[in-house]
Amino acid sequence: MFIAKQAIPRRTVLRGVGTALALPFLDAMVPALTAAGKAAAMPTKRLGVVIVPNGAPREYWTPEAAGAGFELTPALQALEPVRDQVVVLTGLYSVGAARPGQGTSHSAAAAAFLTGAKAKRTAGSALQLGISMDQVAANAPGLGHETPLPSLELSLEGGDTVYGVSTCDGGFSCAYLNNSWANTTTPMPRETNPRTVFERLFGDVGNTSAEVRRARAQQQRSVLDVVMDKVARLKSGLAPYDRRKIDEYLEAAREIERRIEIVEQQADRELPAIAAPAGIPISYEEHATLMFDLMLLAYQTDMTRVVSFMVGREESGATYPQIGISEPHHPLSHHQDVPEKIEKLAKINAYHMQLFTDFLLKLKATEDGDGSLLDHLMILYGSAIRNSNRHNTNDLPILVVGGGGGQIAGGQHIVFAEDTPLTDLQYTMLAKLGVPVEAFAGSEQEIHELSHRA
């Protein structure tokens, strides 16, 4: 690492009309040879949550061997390039969803996944649940308190995709299908439109009126163009390494903006009869990739340190013709033990995993202090249900990915005693993030195996 004699603040933001460009971590942000410099060089802790719907067939997901010598199963095979940053966890059950070994509804399972709380059965507005682990992190000093956005909640499916009704399975409000909760009564709204996410990250919070956005669009200027003169002045005082890093970051941001603009231009032409929101791609894969790329930029610029991304809601009826599966996901997940249907479910799991791995490889290639973003992140990946055919929430398909700033011992498969609470894992992750909590949803047992490779 090059240590600059004169440092610039870590939270430097270049402002223009309707734009606030946060910078990635640079060597020039580390003061030379001081205690403050040593602290600034410490890796920034970050949390990610990626949720996939409708479970995963155990025989295609769960490795046979425990410890470091396990073989990646078909559903996990895509993770091979980042295997040393992956922990597979077997035997965890969802506290609050149902009693161990018993089935529940998709709504109750989704509600409990990040909260460890039992949802109040209601179809109306009298919701009652609990705060989710991502929001506990977002409220903590050193995480959400240190960034412009305390947290970011993303999804590929909006509320209108849940059959257009307010009541989902088991008589529960469809609001419970959202995994992220601000408190006992309020689910966090999730953003599905990449354009909106892009403007949240790069638009000036104090100057993002509709009039400003329209004026900018009429001028056909990139949101990044309005700060390029300030970027040029900043770069003139930086070392070559930092100048290159800024160029690479701007190139990535421009590419995302370009892809969003193409999507907006194509939407009306390709599907003139559908009033799809501008910015949401027609292609599932492009939509998912854009959201993952925006997630990376949010971390890289330190706009937020807490992101949850719902690849699909429980009960998702998405189809995947791009991988040869035309049946809706949720009905297919009620497979009645038909081998052909189970194989198709596993193929969907593997497809989601490939998209996730592409994101992980980008994190691994993105420098962050004395390591990469992947080195300094910890990501919880999994589903709220194991077997949709039985609606069971024990032995969930769960991964922890990333180095966690040196706190996660990857490359292992941890097998727990039957029905170990998932909240033990979530409490452990919060503790490793430095979140000052004595317990989470009743759990105060730290999982030490996560820090020591078997």
Say if residue 219's pLDDT is above 90: no
Q: What is the mean pLDDT of residues 305-325?
A: 95
Q: 440 with 432: CB under 8 angstroms?
A: no
Q: Is residue 274 exposed (0-12), middle (13-18) or buried (19+ Cβ within 10 Å)? A: exposed
pLDDT at 139 over 60: yes
The pLDDT value recorded for residue 444 is 94
> Is the Cβ–Cβ distance between 85 and 360 less than 8 Å?
yes
> Alpha helices of 11-140 — where are they, by DSSP H?
35-41, 58-61, 106-113, 133-138
For residue range 405-448, list pLDDT tens digits in order.
999 999 999 999 988 999 999 999 999 999 999 999 999 999 99
Using the predicted structure, report yes or no on whether residue 370 has a pLDDT greater than 80.
yes
Q: Among residues 416, 382, 410, 452, which one has the least CA distance to residue 86?
A: 410
Which region among 160-169, 236-245, 365-374, 435-444 has the lowest average model confidence (pLDDT)?
A: 160-169
**pLDDT of 176 over the 70 cut:** yes
Kindly report, residue by residue over 104-126, the tens digit of the pLDDT: 889 999 999 999 999 999 887 78
Share of the chain above pLDDT 70, in %: 74
> What does the alpha-carbon distance between residue 247 and residue 235 come to, in Å, rounded to a whole number?
9
| CA distances for 23 relative to 109, 243, 403, angstroms | 39, 11, 23
Average pLDDT (147-154) is 90
Contact criterion met (CB below 8 Å) for 377 and 44: no
Please give the pLDDT value at position 41.
54
How much is the pLDDT for 15? Answer: 53
Domain extent listing, the chain: 1-42+204-279, 44-192+305-451
Residues 380-387 have a mean pLDDT of: 96
> Could you give the CA distance from residue 370 to residue 326 in angstroms, rounded to a whole number?
45
- Per-residue pLDDT reduced to its tens digit, 232-252: 777 776 777 677 777 776 776
Say which DSSP state 42 is in.
Answer: S
Average pLDDT over residues 152-172: 73
Q: What is the pLDDT of residue 25?
A: 67
pLDDT at 228 over 80: no
Evaluate if residue 278 carries a pLDDT over 70.
no
> Is the pLDDT reported for residue 262 higher than 80?
no
Whether the pLDDT of residue 316 is over 50: the answer is: yes
Q: Between 227 and 14, name the one with better pLDDT.
A: 227
Q: What is the pLDDT of residue 163?
A: 39
Q: What's the CATH fold of domain 44-192+305-451?
A: Alkaline Phosphatase, subunit A (3.40.720)
**Tell me: the pLDDT tens digits for 24-57?**
667 666 654 344 444 445 678 999 999 999 999 9
Judge whether 115 and 178 are in contact, CB under 8 Å.
Answer: no
User: The whole model's pTM is what?
Assistant: 0.81
First CA to last CA across the chain, in angstroms? 32
